[in-house]
Structure 1
Amino acid sequence: MIKNENLSIKGKHNKPIMMDFSYVSNKTRKPIVIFCHGYKGFKDWGAWNLVAEMFAKAGFFFVKFNFSHNGGTKEQPIDFPDLEAFGNNTFIIELDDLENVLDLITASSFKHKNEVDSTKITLIGHSRGGGIATIKATEDHRVNKLITWASVCDYKNRFPKGETLKQWKEDGVMFVENGRTKQQMPHYFQFYTSFVDNENRLTIKKAVKNIKVPHLIIHGTKDPTVSVKEAKEIHSWNDKSELFLVEDANHVFGAKHPWETEILPHHLLEIVEKSMQFAIL
């Protein structure tokens, strides 16, 4: 029987990190998989809960969490009631959040320590979360494997340039519409300055070249959000990486929010099976 447990931990940046665990409780130490959501994402988006259950059934201890400044709250973790937090997010905050999660899971005081094998940790990052997972896999010796789903290959080129950048600096804030919720979601200019101040650390290409663990790159060939060319770029920077392209798959591998059936879309099922096979070896 799969156990699903929710938990809130204190983050480094004055916001809680909402997380959950999915596993079969049998006092057997299991390889850990930690899932990092992407931009305008959250841990309970779409079919992610079904993904967690599949990993749990296959013998993993599956962890997913909301980045502390993703715009969700403890009371309302789905969607984005806290747009002020969203606007103040940075890549550094997300890296710190992931470190907090790793610290919890690997601590000797972790209450599920008899259910986890902290020497076997795989990070999975989707979209923007793929970059965060990649950087952390390079930095943190506790991470043993890296899997990216539809990951971006560069953060810098996603920032506005020229007059748009100048206007953002003058206004102090730039708004992006959420196509699903129709919210006007703010980005304060400190998001850009934080990147500039930490550009060396936040350059995904540099991280990929320094990866010392097995690295699986998964991408859909019909991704309209992050081009499949980005997956090929990432693969070219690490000749020991494995590239797995999913024909005709989109950015979320056929899922959507809300996801109202108990069956995964076939593209998402395909990448979950591939990811489990990679993580267990």
Structure 2
Amino acid sequence: MNSIKNILITAGGNRQMALDIFFEKKMEQKPVVIYAHGFNGFKDWGNFDLIAEKFAGRGLVFIKFNFSHNGTTPRQPEEFADLEAFGNNNYSMELNDLKEVIDWVVDKENPYRQAIDNSAIYLTGHSMGGGIAILQAARDRRIKKLITWAAISQCKTPWGSWPPEQMEEWKQSGVQYYTNSRTKQQLPLYYQLYEDYCNNQQKLDIKSAMQSLQIPVLICHGTADTAVPVENAILLKTWQPAAQIFTVETDHVFGRKHPWTDNVLPSAMEAIVHASIQFLL
């Protein structure tokens, strides 16, 4: 199997994004799956290479990447080393990043083009990345199938449940801080994140995007998810009745953690991966 790590491509603002591609060594064109990570995440969280290898082992090209402003850097793709970038991230920027990755996939100069079937591009995303995948799939005819993993149903992460006084404080100070439970870092969230949402509500309307989709959709969610409750999956299904839904009794990250040092996935993640692959083949 070919696994090429940390390929650098350029996104908006001339920032570089690190990208990984996995595919079987036999050089024939195969469908490509592009994965978008969630808020406070990165492409290698929880040893995601194990998941990528499973997709590639079933005859799919698997691509995962770090959003340009997720706080990591090309030199430190698994660390929140650029907090200023993290604070300046927003939904519109992530949509543009995902488009840049898709453009790279179909580029005639792509060095891996012989392995990629450009007529079969699929998106999947976790949590906030699932919302981004929905929005992109609705606006990009190149996308032929969509899978969401514990996806959000509104572009309001992480302020959706904040009380009015905290929102006002955010507006006045220009910044709020999110505590990374693993690293204990105080990650800045600049008020521009909310302003981007307010200025682009039509573009960032997940409900409208789901309702407009005319491609096969699989919605995966954990019934014990406390970060993005399973009711979000039910909403997505309500908005797109033709979608398939697959639930597992598990948490937001399907039983994983970071770092994940085992060479096998937890059973819940295995079930999600299996259902996803079956849906795509």
1:132 aligns with 2:152: no
Matches within 5 A, 1:1-281: 1-156=1-156, 158-159=159-160, 160-246=162-248, 248-280=249-281
Partner of 1:271: helix, strand, or coil? helix
Contact 1:2 1:53 in 2 (8 A): no
Amino acid at match of 1:224: T
Partner of 2:92: helix, strand, or coil? helix
Amino acid at match of 1:278: F
Alpha-carbon displacement from aligned partner over 1:56-105 (angstroms, at most 9, x marks no partner)? 11111100000000000011111201000000001000000000000000
Amino acid at match of 1:226: V
In the alignment, the residues of structure 1 paired with residue 204 and residue 3 of structure 2 have an alpha-carbon distance, to the nearest angstrom, of 36
Unaligned runs of 5+ in 1: none
In the alignment, the residues of structure 2 paired with residue 208 and residue 161 of structure 1 have an alpha-carbon distance, to the nearest angstrom, of 28
Question: Following TM superposition, by how much is the alpha carbon of 1:107 offset from its aligned partner in structure 2, in angstroms?
Answer: 1.2
Contact 1:6 1:19 in 2 (8 A): yes
Contact 2:91 2:155 in 1 (8 A): no
Amino acid at match of 1:128: M
Amino acid at match of 2:262: T
Contact 1:19 1:65 in 2 (8 A): yes
In the alignment, the residues of structure 2 paired with residue 3 and residue 182 of structure 1 have an alpha-carbon distance, to the nearest angstrom, of 31
Identity of aligned residues (%): 43
In the alignment, the residues of structure 1 paired with residue 226 and residue 193 of structure 2 have an alpha-carbon distance, to the nearest angstrom, of 24
Contact 2:3 2:20 in 1 (8 A): no
Alpha-carbon displacement from aligned partner over 1:135-178 (angstroms, at most 9, x marks no partner)? 00000000000000000111248433421111101001000110
RMSD of aligned Cα (Å): 1.1
Amino acid at match of 1:100: E
Contact 1:71 1:82 in 2 (8 A): yes
Amino acid at match of 1:113: R
Amino acid at match of 2:279: F
In the alignment, the residues of structure 1 paired with residue 113 and residue 18 of structure 2 have an alpha-carbon distance, to the nearest angstrom, of 19
Amino acid at match of 2:180: N
Partner of 1:74: helix, strand, or coil? coil
Question: Following TM superposition, by how much is the alpha carbon of 1:225 offset from its aligned partner in structure 2, in angstroms?
Answer: 0.8
Unaligned runs of 5+ in 2: none
